[in-house]
Every structure is written in structure tokens, then in C-alpha cells.
Amino acid sequence: MNPNDLHLLPLGTQVVTRTAVHTPSGEITRPTGSVGVVLQLPADLQHAYRIQFPDGREQTFLRRDLEVRKQHQTPDLPEAPDWTQWVQYRCIVGSRAFGLETGDSDTDRRGFYLAPADRHWSLWGLPEQLENEATQETYWELQKFLTLALKANPNVLECLYTPLIETASPIAEELLSMRGAFLSTLVYQTYNGYVLSQFKKLDADLRNHGEIRWKHAMHLIRLLLSGIAVVERGEVSVHVGEHRESLLAVKRGEMPWAEVNAWRLDLHARFDRALTRTTLPERPDYGRVNAFLLRARRTMLDVSV
């Protein structure tokens, strides 16, 4: 136990003792691993807790000789590997892919990783998502990536359609070749619903605080434009093309809020009309995506960990 990790325990916390209690002659009266409850707190970590045991008797222990029972039952995790060594797909999204970058824009990288089967099957499992805020990178475990895409998550769909690809393994190339399997009219519901809820929050911010998060407003308009393109043409348009200057004007706060909101309402109406004419299915192709996931998992059966 690292002394730097110690903290005061609340009254009533169930604990496990890390040391035995002996009589003056050396006889053990309370073995290591006994379960008790914090009955009385010390003034600080240099003084002892009073612990009550199931038989009603009490004993004092220093904090270093106690462990929270729930933590005691959790196995020690082995040192985590560098999960990014198994990144299969790495791409650039965000403003640089949208064509909305400015001089101070970050470079946002996204993608997915697929670890060896032994890592996936192990008792310790693996993280669903790898994030590095310093480098603006996020990588989802493949199953999580696919699940989000099937739900029409815009961030993940843009990963599949961005032209700015830095790394693509054969597994990733196969996925890109079938990216249309993820597109369905769920895009209409997901994109529309998110923009609607977020514009209500922006409107509330304006009423209550007199401020608008203009960058967020810009991206909501961009999301509607992107969603309409999916429903109309059956593909995700990542680059904003001819809308670049208008969107940047929104970001800079140069377009009045009433005009921005009117644009948004017009796009919602266009979205509705596009839905009536779309050739997209109501649901994505779950079977095809599931078959791909199983094939991808099998490729990692004999990969060394």
C-alpha cells in the first residue's frame, strides 16, 4: 500500500486488517484479514482508528494496517500494456477534416484498436476507449467503435469517411470498404435529436447569461448539413465545402443569433423532406457488421501479447 494513497475513512466503513493482534505472550487474538467496521475516527493519519469486529469487541489500528473491504476483494491489476501498439486505424477528424481549420486549430486524431485475443479474454479485460488529451487522440476498442457507428454516432461515422487517413491495417481497409453498412435513417433521428436539444441549451444560455457558445453553434449547423447529405446521397460529407465561410462567420459571432436559428430551422425542414425521399434502410446492416467483427477477432487469435 502506497502511503501517499491513504486517506481518512468515513465512519461505518467496512475494513480488513492487514496485521494480526497479539497478546503480550505472542498469542494471536485477532488474525490478519479480520473484517470490522470503523467505529471512531482519529484526528489525523498519525493516530489510530477504533474498529469494532463482528463479535462486538474493539481494537485500535493505524490507517496503514487497514484496507477497505471492497478494495481488498479487488485483484491487483498487472501493469497495463501500451494499448496504442494495436491501433489498426488512425485518422484526422475535426476542423482540419471539415475544412474549418484556423491558425490555432488542433489536430484531432481518432480511430480504433484491436488487441490480441488473450488480452481481450483475460480476467483483466481491456479499456473501451483510449484517450490522450495532450495529443488530442481517441481510439475506441473495435467493438465499441462498431457499436457507436451502428447507432449513427457522428464522431465515429466521420472517422469512417474522413479523407485524412494516417494508418489503416488490412482489417481497417476491410471496414472502410463496407462503411455503407452503417448508414440508415437512424442518422436522421440521431443528428436531428442532438441538434434540437443542444439549440435549446444555447437559447437558454442566451436568455439567462446573454452569451452564446458560437463555436458549438457552428458545429451544430455543420452537423445538420452533414446529416442531410447522408440521407440525400447515402454518404457522410466530412468537408463543409461551400458552407465554409458562413460557418466560420457563425463561429466568430458575426451572424446574428436570429439568423443562425433561422438557418437551423430551415435545415431541419430540409432534413424532413430528405427523409421522405431517402433510399437508406431503417436500420444498419447488423449482420454484416457482426460478421466483420468475428473475422477481425479471429485474426488476433495467435498474435503475441
pLDDT tens for each residue of 188-211: 999 999 999 999 999 999 999 999
Are 15 and 36 in contact by the 8 Å Cβ rule? The answer is yes
pLDDT tens for each residue of 226-250: 999 999 999 999 999 999 999 999 9
pTM for the full model?
0.79
pLDDT band for 6, please (50, 70, 90 cuts): low
Note the pLDDT of residue 247: 97
Query: Which cell numbers hold the place of 291?
Result: 460478421
Residue 4 has pLDDT above 50, yes or no: no
pLDDT band for 76, please (50, 70, 90 cuts): low
When comparing pLDDT for 73 and 277, which is higher?
277
pLDDT tens for each residue of 133-163: 999 999 999 999 999 999 999 999 999 999 9
pLDDT tens for each residue of 250-274: 999 999 999 999 999 999 999 999 9
Residues in the chain: 305
Note the pLDDT of residue 3: 45
Percent of the chain with pLDDT over 70: 96
Query: Which cell numbers hold the place of 202?
Result: 444555447
pLDDT, the chain, mean? 93
Give the residue from 303, 291, 305 showing the smallest Cα distance to 146.
Answer: 291
Note the pLDDT of residue 13: 94
